[in-house]
Structure 1
């Protein structure tokens, strides 16, 4: 029951993250000039804008693709785990916004998606923290320490154990031998050979 609930939760988080990152990436690509202008207004060197202008949308689309490909959903490689990449990118965003909330920037322009553009920097920080927690929870439910992964490993070990004939035969033979011994001891009161009919009257 817990495994099923974990699977449903992980799937729901994965679908939500696909929709979120797809919307954020497409929103940037839909208005590239506006996104580039927003990057120039950010409190970091202008030459960063030329790099982030392409890096961020491609990174976000890459996360969407990794979430969508079945073979990468439970991968053991952290650099290809979409939940890990999502958490790393959201960590960078959260730290950047947290520094702004702390008042370390002279100006606080927003270069986020249009649906979040009306939020304050404090609101952005709360949203990013929630998304970061969802990414970490998704990784926990699908990563190496996941309850589902432990269940799958246990089933695999049981199948491999039962697949070995010698492992199965030895206990079976032992049980049969014990049964035979008990059978002999139980019926040892009866003679093991036929008894001759001795006539004492003659």
Structure 2
């Protein structure tokens, strides 16, 4: 009986191998077609071939179906076996690169192979590479062809297939990290939901973080400073008294840089400063500058965004209370594209304890990194493709400018973390599931010292509302979502 089986296999070995390979390719192609959107998303999240997710998603299915048909026809079977050898070699080297050279190891495949880990999948593929090679060898001998030619062609097929995957891997890494075509790569659990505290109201914003405490300002009660320890054990509120307060304030803001807190309203050219253990804030600047954004560099030095009187355009400047003149504008920092106001609108921020100032544009894919003297270190780009602000501006009869169409916002806010910027994007990238976009905020991580995209992650909405702000102390990421303060633990080496 055993001999009969052996003889049968020996006689029909090529057909058996061809049928097995054809079934494998047909099943794989059908499985991808039935859930094509998910297949594209999985490819886009591949740590090796993200940049080519679109073309590969169509190409692989087409090739698998063609090779399956070739294996079923006697006239094209030999060519089909060579194609199978190349295809399985490409799949095998891909898995090898995943296991040894990728930034992270993603989830395994679906279908009948979903129970296999990457190592088991590698072994499975190697077995089919061997079967394809044996099928070629047996068929060539059966057809009385030249064995050495078949061996050389088989080796060449394997080498070329592997080289194609390796070249695509190297090219994809460069495209994704440096020349991205708006394909996001979602990091594998970079943060973990750790703790939450209910703040009762949703009008809080981050004023700063220092010495184990998070400081919060409140839009509805601007003269109160709220403090909570980073362990979320104790929340206290202190009312601040201004030494001079008879001014037409519109929007008083709070900012903390230990050992002081600062209060300001750029519509009135005044800055107050108080010690964190003192409820009285004293005037340290009056009449030096009108401004619409401020970041604290040190106790007497600030970065401002001002609107110039001459042309009403925005400009970045520094206010140094120990210098004469105190205000120095840097008109070349913000680059005008349309009107010099809306097209350069953005968010200003300073990294705590570091010589770094960052400005992100709202309506274009650029962020500017400066030193504390506002010398430009880098002009870097986010991964979306909006190089020019997509806005329409109308000038009113009184000289004011208004946007007369809905704005096309790109970036919504950021937090600094060492040499990284955690940027909240407002645009959906290629191959991203719409449901996740609707229920989450997407945070893209970039370097601030070079043009490099690291990856992305989600911050889930709360009660249908998206996050409003975030801040980090290097160990945790703190996020305000609706009326909650959420703490996420940052996984060690998550962004390397």
SS of residue in 2 equivalent to 1:44: coil
Instruction: Report the Cα offset of residue 110 of structure 1.
Output: 4.0
Q: How does 1:1-202 map to 2 (within 5 A)?
A: 6-44=10-48, 46-74=50-78, 81-102=79-100, 104-110=101-107, 112-143=109-140, 146=141, 148-150=142-144
Partner SS, residue 150 of structure 1: coil
* C-alpha displacement of 1:109: 1.7
Hey, which of these two has a bigger chunk of strand by percent?
A: 2
Q: 1:39 to 1:127 in 2, by over 3 A?
A: same
Moved more, 58-67 or 37-46: 37-46
> Structure with the greater relative contact order (CA < 8 A, sep ≥ 6): 1 or 2?
1
- Change beyond 3 A, Cα 1:4–1:118: closer
- After TM superposition, the structure 1 stretch with the greater mean CA deviation from structure 2, 32-41 or 62-71, is 62-71
> Counterparts of 1:16 and 1:71 in 2: how far apart (Å)?
18
Count of equivalent residues: 141
Cα drift, residue 117 of structure 1 = 2.0
Q: Is the 8 A contact 1:24 1:113 kept in 2?
A: no
For the pair shown, the structure with the greater C-alpha radius of gyration is: 1
Please give the secondary structure, in 1, of the residue aligned with 2:144.
helix
Distance 1:99 1:46, change over 3 A: closer
For residues 43 and 108 of structure 2, what CA distance do their matches in structure 1 show?
Answer: 6
State how far apart, in whole Å, the 2-side matches of 1:150 and 1:113 are: 41
TM-superposed deviation, 1:89: 0.9
Larger helix percent: 1
RMSD: 2.3
Query: 1:23, 1:95 → 2: CA distance?
Result: 21
Q: Please report how far the alpha carbon of residue 150 of structure 1 lies from its aligned counterpart in structure 2 after TM superposition.
A: 2.3
The alpha-carbon distance between structure 1 residues 125 and 13, as it changes in their structure 2 partners (threshold 3 A), is same
Deviation at residue 108 of structure 1 after TM alignment: 1.6
Q: Alpha-carbon deviation of 1:45? A: 5.0
The aligned counterpart of 1:159 is none
TM-score w.r.t. length of structure 2: 0.27
Q: Where do 4+ consecutive residues of structure 1 move more than 4 Å?
A: 1-5
Map of 1:162 onto structure 2:
none
- What whole-Å deviation, never above 9, does each CA across 1:129-179 have from its counterpart, x for those lacking one? 001111111111113xx1x2129xxxxxxxxxxxxxxxxxxxxxxxxxxxx
Distance 1:4 1:114 in 2: 31
The structural deviation recorded for 1:5 is 5.3
TM-score (norm 1): 0.64
* Number of the residue aligned with 1:193: none
Contact 1:94–1:128 (8 Å) recurs in 2: yes
Does the Cα contact within 8 Å between 1:21 and 1:60 map onto a contact in 2? yes
Q: Hey, what's the Cα distance between the residues in 1 that align with 2:45 and 2:22? A: 28
Unaligned runs of 5+ in 2: 146-496
Q: For each residue in 1:2-46, what CA deviation from the matched residue of structure 2 results, as whole angstroms up to 9, or x when unmatched?
A: 997543111111111111111011111111001001001101353
* Residue number in structure 1 paired with 2:178: none
